[in-house]
Amino acid sequence: MEQEAQFKKTYNNNNTHSNTHTNNSKFNGLLLPSEIEYRRKLWSRKLEFYLDSLQETLFTATRALNDVTGYSSIQNLRNSINQMENELNSIKLKVKESKKMYNDAISQRIQSQNEVNDLLQRKGTWSSEDLERFTRLYKEDTINSKRVEECKQELNAIEMEEDRLTNELYKSILTRYHEEQIWSDKIRRTSTWGTFILMVINICLFLIFQLLLEPWKRRRLTRSFEDKVKVALDTYSKEQENLISIKIEKMLSSSTRQVVLVDDSNQQYEMQEDKKEMNNNKNDYYKEAQSLNQDINPYVVFKQLYSKLTQIPKKRNLEFNNIEIYIFSGTLLLLGNLLTIIVYKLI
């Protein structure tokens, strides 16, 4: 929000400056190079602002998606594992330093004890310097023993801390792998169900188009074709009637009655043949249109498909229409998806 407010303030100032600069820099309708450079910088700032806002939006959407799917908790667990690994590495360094200090303290105590033993072996020949040295070595031995004990306790505490961090790290790693496995199973399950739902939707749409829309479209085309054929047949019949009337008038105006009678009989015979042919064409067309205009009954289609499938062992060759093939293939796809989900659940 602060960036947006700052950008708006800068944009308003730039617009004011741009208007002033444009009025001063325009010359005969052309822009000066300084004005072009200024506008380029302004558009580059706008583009940077929009890209930053887009990146922030994508980051927010990704974080919300991770929260919904539960991946954010896994990411937090990963971060804690990395932190524990860093702590374990630092503890290991402390263990090495404590071991080194413990070994140095032991070596110093051993050295002082050896010197004390040497002095005790020649106790009868001590001088005043040997007595002072013995007293100093005895005090140093007491200090070294305390130092060894302190280093030992410190080393034990650090080793216990190392063991604790190691156990927690192993437990966190196991928990992380377990949670990731659960998350991947959930995503896989969601993907499987999503794929199954999409396939069911596709099959339903396919059946709707083939069983409902295609017959409606066929009936619509048939009706329009019927209307066109009726108009064409009516036009053709009118033309034939006009031609016949013209021929009859010509025959009546002829000079010889016998010729007229013969031509009239022939013409009547041709007219009867034309009418028969027209009637036959009409009957054939109406039969074809009636067969195309029939409604598809799903129960009848399924019954015919079932009867044909039961005849497969008896007959070698069977013919299926398009609707039966669509229904059979859609049923097989649906059964295959159901078997896939059942097998996945059992596994």
pLDDT tens digits, 72-101:
888 888 888 899 899 989 999 998 988 888
Question: For residue 144, how many other CB atoms are within 10 A of its CB?
Answer: 20
pLDDT tens digits, 10-58:
545 545 444 444 444 444 456 677 777 788 788 888 888 888 888 888 8
DSSP class per residue in 22-38? HHHH-BTTB--HHHHHH
Residue appearing with tokens 């034309």 = 274
Q: Is 338 a residue whose pLDDT tops 80? A: no
Q: Is 177 a residue whose pLDDT tops 80? A: yes
Task: Reduce the DSSP state of residue 70 to 3 states and report it.
Answer: coil
pLDDT of residue 142: 84
d(CA 64, CA 68) in angstroms, rounded, equals 6
CA angle 288, 293, 296 (to 5 degrees): 125
243: confidence class by pLDDT, cuts 50, 70, 90: confident
d(CA 295, CA 211) in angstroms, rounded, equals 10
193: confidence class by pLDDT, cuts 50, 70, 90: confident
Global confidence as pTM? 0.47
3-state helix, strand, coil in the chain (%, to 5): 90, 0, 10
Report the mean per-residue pLDDT for the chain: 74
167: confidence class by pLDDT, cuts 50, 70, 90: very high
pLDDT of residue 189: 85
Cβ proximity of 154 and 94 under 8 Å: no
pLDDT tens digits, 181-191:
888 888 888 88
- Choose the weakest-confidence range: 106-110, 229-233, 252-256: 252-256
223: confidence class by pLDDT, cuts 50, 70, 90: confident
Cβ proximity of 330 and 203 under 8 Å: yes
d(CA 120, CA 169) in angstroms, rounded, equals 53
User: Six-digit token pair at 311?
Assistant: 């005849």
- Choose the weakest-confidence range: 10-19, 155-164, 328-337: 10-19
Q: Which helix (H) or strand (E) holds 260?
A: helix 257-292
pLDDT of residue 22: 47
Q: Is 156 a residue whose pLDDT tops 70? A: yes
Closest CA to 144 of 166, 116, 119, 186: 116
Residue 54 or 308, more confident? 54
pLDDT of residue 239: 82
d(CA 51, CA 47) in angstroms, rounded, equals 6
Task: Identify the top-confidence range among 93-102, 130-139, 231-240.
Answer: 93-102
Cβ proximity of 168 and 84 under 8 Å: yes
Q: Is 70 a residue whose pLDDT tops 70? A: yes
174: confidence class by pLDDT, cuts 50, 70, 90: very high
Per-residue pLDDT, averaged over 193-207, amounts to 87
Question: For residue 2, how many other CB atoms are within 10 A of its CB?
Answer: 6
Cβ proximity of 138 and 119 under 8 Å: no
pLDDT tens digits, 252-284:
776 444 444 445 555 565 566 655 665 565 555
Q: Is 335 a residue whose pLDDT tops 70? A: yes
Question: For residue 277, how many other CB atoms are within 10 A of its CB?
Answer: 10
Question: For residue 155, how many other CB atoms are within 10 A of its CB?
Answer: 19
Cβ proximity of 8 and 45 under 8 Å: no
Q: Which helix (H) or strand (E) holds 7?
A: helix 2-25
Per-residue pLDDT, averaged over 68-74, amounts to 80
d(CA 123, CA 113) in angstroms, rounded, equals 15
CA angle 269, 274, 275 (to 5 degrees): 100
Cβ proximity of 139 and 125 under 8 Å: no
